[in-house]
Amino acid sequence: VAKGAGKNQWRRYQAHLHNEMVERLELRSALDHAVNEGHFLLHYQPIVDLAAGTPVGFEALVRWHHPKRGVITPDQFIEVAEESGLIVPMGRWVLEEALRTVAEWRRILPPELAPYVSVNVSVRQFRENGFVDQVRNALQHTGVPPQGLMLEITETMLVKDDEQVWTNLATLRDLGIRIAIDDFGTGYSSLGYLRQRPIDVVKIDKTFIDDMITSHQPLALVTGIVSLAQSLGLIVVAEGIESPTHRELLVRMGCPFGQGYLFSSPLGPTEVLAWMRGVQPIAV
Ligand code: C2E
Ligand code: MG
Ligand code: MG
Ligand code: MG
């Protein structure tokens, strides 16, 4: 009996593996199709001056208009996009689209309100030889100045001796584009190390912000990151601000910028201008 049960379990396990593989292959081929047909869209989340409550920029976040599942978020496809290399052509579209959109906002809004756009870039894109030219060209034909663009690279994707990546980051930064380390705190880089690298901004990962309210240790940790980063000349952005308490704590510790559902969830491009008109600066 025991032997038979084991055999059944093994079969079920095999079937499970098989299904998972088929699902991944299907996702990959659907993604390939989406890249060729342009089935992506961008949502934009405001990044605000925390004390004033006013927007300074927007983070572009990709969505896939999936034929069966509707509009889906990156947690459902970024991994496959990375593995398959499809992140490269998808990322090229994201950059172009984000710049076209922010160019329009910058034309409509008065110069003192002109926002920047922050674009997530995969390390695979930074590793490409033509990436710097691609960015330079996109800025040129959309008419966005380099100060209107920020590029985010996830901390855990950074490899210390990936010199191609660091060289490209340095060249982009020399053009006047700001470089941000995304999800800071989830990897092992120290701020002292980052200071020697071509980086302007650190975005503190939302897990630290979440935990800040419930215990003292994360609160002390975030306070430490904010003050050390600023003393090293880095700009700090806090992610995942969901409550007024989060915001107050961050303002009190001198954190200048942040984003999160408290201010707004990611918005469709046409919702952004309406949102901007509606923002009442409520200083804390
Ligand atoms: P991320 O860059 O750290 O972006 C922040 C994520 O947190 C977004 O999820 C956003 O919707 C979500 N978020 C914002 N405020 C809050 C909040 O207050 N509470 C909570 N719980 N979540 C909040 P999203 O849009 O699902 O994106 C997930 C990740 O996918 C991004 O994390 C980024 O790493 C990646 N991603 C998004 N767009 C692109 C892209 O165009 N290219 C690449 N390479 N990666 C992208
Ligand atoms: Mg990001
Ligand atoms: Mg992030
Ligand atoms: Mg994140």
Instruction: Place 281 in a pLDDT band, splitting at 50, 70 and 90.
Output: low
The answer to whether the beta carbons of residues 57 and 272 sit under 8 Å apart is no
Atom from ligand 1 closest to the CA of residue 73: 26
Q: What is the pTM of this model?
A: 0.94
Centre of ligand 4 from the C-alpha of residue 11, in Å: 38
Cα angle for residues 276, 269, 75 (degrees, 5° grid): 115
Residue nearest to atom 19 of ligand 1 (CA): 240
* Atom of ligand 1 at shortest range from CA of 239: 15
Complex ipTM value: 0.98
Q: Is the pLDDT of residue 165 over 70?
A: yes
The pLDDT tens digits for 252-279 are 999 999 999 999 999 999 999 999 988 7
- CA-based end-to-end distance of the chain: 69
- Across residues 5-27, what is the average pLDDT? 91
Verify whether ligand 1 is closer than 6 Å to residue 62 (CB atom). yes
Q: What is the pLDDT of residues 35-70, one digit of tens each?
A: 999 999 999 999 999 999 999 999 999 999 998 999
Query: What number is the average pLDDT over the span 105-124?
Result: 95
Residue-by-residue DSSP string for 122-163? -HHHHTSTTHHHHHHHHHHHHT--GGGEEEEEEGGG--TT-H
d(CA 125, CA 96): 14
Helices (H) and strands (E) in the chain, counts: 11, 9
Confidence of residue 280 (pLDDT cuts 50, 70, 90): low
Would you state the pLDDT for residue 277? 85
Q: What is the Cα–Cα distance from 182 to 190, expressed in whole angstroms?
A: 14
233 has pLDDT over 70 = yes
Position 282 confidence tier, pLDDT thresholds 50, 70, 90: low
- pLDDT tens digits, residue range 203-230? 999 999 999 988 888 899 999 999 999 9
**Residue 112 identity:** E
